[in-house]
Amino acid sequence: MKRLFLIFCLLVSGFFLVAPGPVSAGDAHTVYVVKVAGDVAPGMAAYLKRALDDIPEAPHQTIVLDLDTFGGRVDSALMIVDLITAADSKGKTIAFVSRKAISAGALIALACNELVMKPGTTIGDCAPIMVGSQGPEMLGEKFQSPLRAKFRALAKKNGYPEALAESMVTADMEVFRVVTKDGGTFYMDALEYEEMDEAQKSAVVSKKTVVAKGELLTMDDIEARDLGFSQMTVSSVKEMLAAMGIDDTDIVVMEQQWSEGLMRWLGTLAPLLMLIGLGALYTEIKSPGFGVPGIVGIICLALFFMNQYAVGLADYTELLIFLLGLVLIGIETFVLPGFGIAGIAGAVCIIVSFVLAMQGFVLPDPDMPWQTDLMVNNVIQVLGAVVTAFLAALFLLRFVLPRLSAVVSGPYLSATLSEARADATANTGAGVGDRGTAATSLRPAGKMKIGPEMYDVVTEGEFLDKGTPVVIIAVRGNVLVVSRETTQ
């Protein structure tokens, strides 16, 4: 038990390690390299917030985000975009695509002031999708519109082609490269081109389709440079800095702490932690004493809530709602008979606490329609975990725990009551033929008085009023059966 507690304390302490203070910058140009790899999720956003906060406000510095991601959650990507935008005050931000920046990764890349790619890398394809019964499905205009606006704003801010940036989100766009007589090169969608007046169209020298309708813009390093996104193609950060003329540099790599890696790993296990925790606690409530199921349940749920708190999705409110739910269910189980309002309210509180702990908002924002999908997905996950935990606990209580005596050493009681017999005559002294009066109404059970003694009795279905003369007609186990006494 002590070892288990020690391991638990070590795990929990990782979430509250004090991050190292800001790295001091010298007189030389300082370059901070921040790795952005894996799924875009709340754990990644929490790690990047810590890393960017650790970079001091100082002159002559550059922040490089080393990107290698297939994307992930839109809400986490938008949070990261805000963090990068806020970091502009600390120096120029550069997205260095070391392998891929797909979907939400492309959004993060365009949030940086400049883009640089390694040979053979790719960027693009940020259409919002939802995995349904028919597989991945692209979401409609309601979802694409706010994302397209975000891409357009980032492109305008950092000097990327706006129409091409929007075409990473929407497959219905057809984008042309238009060259005019004065040597200007523009990228515009088909609608913009059609709205040009005759004078403007007459100035067009060539028009070439860059993104066909029905396609999403995805570029390799050569295409990204040709289309005005990537500044250059280089093999490493050092080569990039040399090409930019930044020679006298201190390169500081912002490493992910082990606790942050643990957070990101636990984030993928959140539904499983929730399922095991609920199942273990229910098993503990239904079994006598306090043992392993209770310890496992507390550890799993503690890890779940602390992880959600550490990545910024939950606070004390969700934990208090969960504890309130446990208290209500405890009152229903141990104080009130049956299962009524308190039990239902407790179950609702627990479900609400889990749903809120898995998202960074209470109710979906109409301007961010993906929040509705996220909330629905969270509700389904939580309800699935609750039902599965309940069924798993019932299985343990019915089939597993009763058989533990076969594999766990005793001592156990070996005696049984298979040969025991209970007889009312032996235990009470009353027997067949004894007469008395009904001390209460028999409906059909009640009490009978024989002399000064009172006995619990039952009739064979007849209802008798208080004071009716009765006689014991049978003794069945420990039950006295009576009938109305008839006069001869």
Residues 179 and 226 in one domain: no
Domain count across the chain: 4
Cis peptide before 42 (omega within 30 of 0): no
**For residue 65, is it within any domain?**
yes
**For residue 295, is it within any domain?**
yes
Residues 152 and 38 in one domain: yes
Q: Residue 220's Cα: distance from chain center in Å? A: 34
Of 452, 396, 399, the closest CA to residue 429 belongs to: 452
**For residue 368, is it within any domain?**
no
Of 81, 85, 87, 82, the closest CA to residue 101 belongs to: 81
Torsion sign across C-alpha atoms 130, 132, 138, 141: negative
What CATH number is associated with residue 450?
2.40.50.140
Q: List helix spans (H) across 311-364.
A: 316-334, 341-357
**For residue 273, is it within any domain?**
yes
pTM above threshold 0.95: no
**For residue 179, is it within any domain?**
yes
Query: What pLDDT tens digit does each residue of the chain (488 aa) get?
Result: 344 433 444 444 444 333 444 444 445 789 999 999 999 999 999 999 999 999 998 888 999 999 999 988 888 999 999 999 999 889 999 999 999 999 999 999 999 999 999 999 999 988 777 655 555 667 777 778 888 899 999 999 999 999 999 999 988 889 999 998 888 888 999 888 888 888 888 888 999 999 998 899 999 999 999 999 999 999 999 999 999 988 778 889 988 888 888 888 888 888 899 999 988 888 887 776 677 888 898 899 999 998 888 887 788 889 899 999 888 888 887 777 666 788 889 889 999 999 999 888 888 888 787 788 888 888 998 999 989 988 888 888 777 766 665 555 555 555 555 555 555 555 567 888 888 999 998 888 889 998 888 888 898 888 888 889 999 888 887 788 999 888 65
Residues 205 and 281 in one domain: no
Of 223, 237, 37, the closest CA to residue 122 belongs to: 223
Residues 150 and 182 in one domain: no
Residues 41 and 143 in one domain: yes
> Is 370 in a helix, a strand, or coil?
helix
Helix then strand count (H, E) for the chain reads 17, 18
Residues 191 and 104 in one domain: no
Of 96, 78, 90, the closest CA to residue 33 belongs to: 96
Which structural domain range is residue 476 located in? 429-484
Instruction: Annotate 137-172 with three-state secondary structure.
Output: EECCHHHHHHHHHHHHHHHHHHCCCHHHHHCCCCCC
**For residue 10, is it within any domain?**
no
Residues 178 and 48 in one domain: no
Are β-strands 185-189 and 175-180 bridged in parallel, bridged antiparallel, or unpaired?
antiparallel
- Angstrom distances, CA of residue 331 to CA of 319, 326, 335, 347, 354: 18, 9, 5, 12, 21
Q: What span, in angstroms and rounded, lies between the C-alpha atoms of 277 and 258?
A: 24
